[in-house]
Amino acid sequence: MNLPFRFLLTVALLWASLIPSVVVAKRPNVLFIVCDDLNTHVSTSGYPHISTPSFDELAAAGMNFRRAYCQYPVCGPSRASFLHGLYPQSTGILSNKLDIRDVRAGTVSLPQSFKKAGYWTGAVGKVFHNTKVDPGEVAWNKMLRFENEEMPMVTPIRKKFEAEHGPITEGKSRRLWREFYPTIAKQTKGQKPGWGPTGLTDAQHKDGKNTRQIAEWLENESHGEQPFFMACGIQKPHIPFIAPDKYFAMYPPAELQFTPASLEFWKQAPTIARTKRYQGFGFEFGVENDALRREYMQAYHACISFIDAQIGIVFDALKSSGQWDDTIVVLTSDHGYLLGEKFMWGKVMLFETCNRVPLVIRVPGQTRAGSSSEGLVELVDLFPTLAELCDITPPEELQGRSIVPMLSDPNAAGKEVAYTVVVRAANLGKAIRTNQWHFTRWPDESEELYDLKADPHEEKNLAVSPGHAQTIVSMRKLLERAESAATSRKR
């Protein structure tokens, strides 16, 4: 009995002596940055009329995906989709009012998977659509949201109001102030929408606070041996289009460049494809209000340059904290946004400007610096991609497809189609993109077909052209396959 025991003891001691020399590779950190209502008016998406050096910096260090698409061009449904790796028809989230915990109980989110796998998870700003649908402690170790500080123009007006009605935080005065506030200036109109310079510093805006909080975590938060998953929800350029004054100065309205909209498009495109959101912006359909369009575009671009500067603060913190080379960075948007193209404003449409989003990913040791991919990818692919990169077992039900092979090979093929839907009345409009075509089928059976190579701005609807009948037949079949995949339930 003694000999075997001594033998086992000797082996155990020998193994123990070797343990300090065994190095276990730490899984990479993840920094996930998602902007709100940001279209492709950024330099990395080929838009030359704007300054976005932080986007450029990340693209210079990683891979720029030129053809990335959202699955639903509205905040809540899009975020529910990519944060759960499921298409909207499977999440059941087809509006901003629904909570996936009510309609698909037990569905595991991206940050929840990382937390379960031993990651420290933290979030700031708008990651999930709002606090009501945010999973809280199930997904996050820390979660913070901030508000803008009071604009200087508002302060004397508020003080005068309170002198007459009492504190704006209490009772009837609170309601009266809420009604009065949007009438103060165009900047206070909120989602009506409001726009204009605020008189605030970067750090007084919620996005300035969001990025500075991420930077503080990067520089001072201790996670021991845990890697981190940090999500930074950037809340601009969502309306109101407000930002510090200096960013407005970058874009004089008279110097903005755009093509006036034309009614010729609507002679061939189905009416159901459009919305009436232009009315909320103060426009009349078919009438080009050049001066007002320039004001909104200036404000939208000011918001983009503002958030780009804030994102730069996070990148600087990653580097100064020594974690730049240990951290996967994803920078994207929940969906695009129309700014007067086709006389349309806002989202909830299936045009390229609404559905295509910026997407830049840097994976240390894997992505080639300055590389770019033209392959089709979808936001629903982000969950399985990050899970694979971080050696995390994802939920079996995920419908997205990992794009890891594309990250190391810019010429790797993307998906055959990208699929996006949007509600019209009680039904769905459904669109697919292939390498060449954009095809949409609406509930009233009207269709759109655009040749994205010959007509990237989607000016000519070829669905009404007899010469493209066979293409239409092929696109219908691809759309049926895409919808079948988007509605398959693996649970």
- Domain holding 114: CATH number? 3.40.720.10
Please give the pLDDT value at position 25. Answer: 66
Q: Which of 369, 388, 406 is the last residue of a domain?
A: 406
Tell whether 188 and 336 lie within a shared domain: no
Longest CA span, the chain:
97
Tell whether 293 and 396 lie within a shared domain: yes
Quickly list DSSP for 190-227. TTTT-EEE-S--GGGSHHHHHHHHHHHHHHH---TT--
User: Assign residue 265 a region: left if phi > 0, alpha if psi is -120 to 50, beta otherwise?
Assistant: alpha
Residue 108 per-residue DSSP state: P
Tell whether 184 and 325 lie within a shared domain: no
Residue 438 has pLDDT above 60, yes or no: yes
Two tokens at 490?
């693996």
22 touches 219 (CB < 8 A) = no
Residue 439 has pLDDT above 80, yes or no: yes
Q: pLDDT band at 426, cuts 50/70/90?
A: confident
Name 121's bridge partners. 229
Q: pLDDT band at 290, cuts 50/70/90?
A: very high
265-285 per-position pLDDT tens digit: 999 999 999 999 999 999 999
371: containing domain:
23-149+200-406
Tell whether 87 and 211 lie within a shared domain: yes
Q: What are phi and psi of 212, to 5 degrees?
A: -70, -30
**Region of poorest pLDDT, from 11-25, 206-220, 361-375:** 11-25
Residue 5 has pLDDT above 70, yes or no: no
Please give the pLDDT value at position 191. Answer: 93
Q: pLDDT band at 464, cuts 50/70/90?
A: confident
Averaged pLDDT score across all residues of the chain = 94
According to DSSP, the β-strands at 195-197 and 241-243 are parallel
> Regarding predicted confidence, which is higher, 5 or 251?
251
Q: Which of 385, 406, 427 is the last residue of a domain?
A: 406
**Region of poorest pLDDT, from 29-33, 241-245, 355-359, 408-412:** 408-412
Residue 9 has pLDDT above 70, yes or no: no
Domain assignment of residue 344, yes or no: yes
Please give the pLDDT value at position 222. Answer: 81
Q: Which of 386, 406, 426 is the last residue of a domain?
A: 406
Tell whether 359 and 256 lie within a shared domain: yes
Domain assignment of residue 15, yes or no: no
Q: What is the mean pLDDT of residues 131-136?
A: 96
Domain assignment of residue 426, yes or no: no
Please give the pLDDT value at position 52. Answer: 96
Q: pLDDT band at 72, cuts 50/70/90?
A: very high
Tell whether 258 and 178 lie within a shared domain: no
Residue 380 per-residue DSSP state: G
343-377 per-position pLDDT tens digit: 999 999 999 999 999 999 999 999 999 999 999 99
Tell whether 246 and 372 lie within a shared domain: yes
Please give the pLDDT value at position 490. Answer: 62
User: Assign residue 425 a region: left if phi > 0, alpha if psi is -120 to 50, beta otherwise?
Assistant: left
Q: What is the mean pLDDT of residues 105-120?
A: 97
Tell whether 170 and 275 lie within a shared domain: no
Q: pLDDT band at 26, cuts 50/70/90?
A: confident
Tell whether 297 and 227 lie within a shared domain: yes
Q: pLDDT band at 17, cuts 50/70/90?
A: very low
383-404 per-position pLDDT tens digit: 999 999 999 999 999 999 999 9
Residue 126 has pLDDT above 70, yes or no: yes
C-beta contacts of 459-468 below 8 A and 24+ residues apart: 459/262, 459/264, 459/265, 460/268, 461/265, 461/268, 461/269, 463/439, 464/268
Q: pLDDT band at 98, cuts 50/70/90?
A: very high
Q: How many domains does the chain have?
A: 2
According to DSSP, the β-strands at 356-362 and 327-333 are antiparallel
306-326 per-position pLDDT tens digit: 999 999 999 999 999 999 999
Tell whether 261 and 164 lie within a shared domain: no
Tell whether 172 and 257 lie within a shared domain: no
Query: In angstroms, rounded to a whole number, what is the distance separating the alpha carbons of residues 484 and 176?
Result: 50
Residue-wise burial string across 125-142, b where 16 or more C-beta atoms lie within 10 A, e elsewhere: bbbbbeeebbbeeebbbe
Q: What are phi and psi of 214, to 5 degrees?
A: -60, -45
Quick one: which of 390, 410, 416 has its CA closest to 59? 410
Domain assignment of residue 166, yes or no: yes
Tell whether 194 and 57 lie within a shared domain: no
Name 421's bridge partners. 430
Please give the pLDDT value at position 435. Answer: 96
Q: pLDDT band at 223, cuts 50/70/90?
A: confident
Global pTM value: 0.93
Domain assignment of residue 419, yes or no: no
Vertex 183: Cα angle to 200 and 161 (nearest 5)? 80
Share of the chain above pLDDT 90, in %: 92
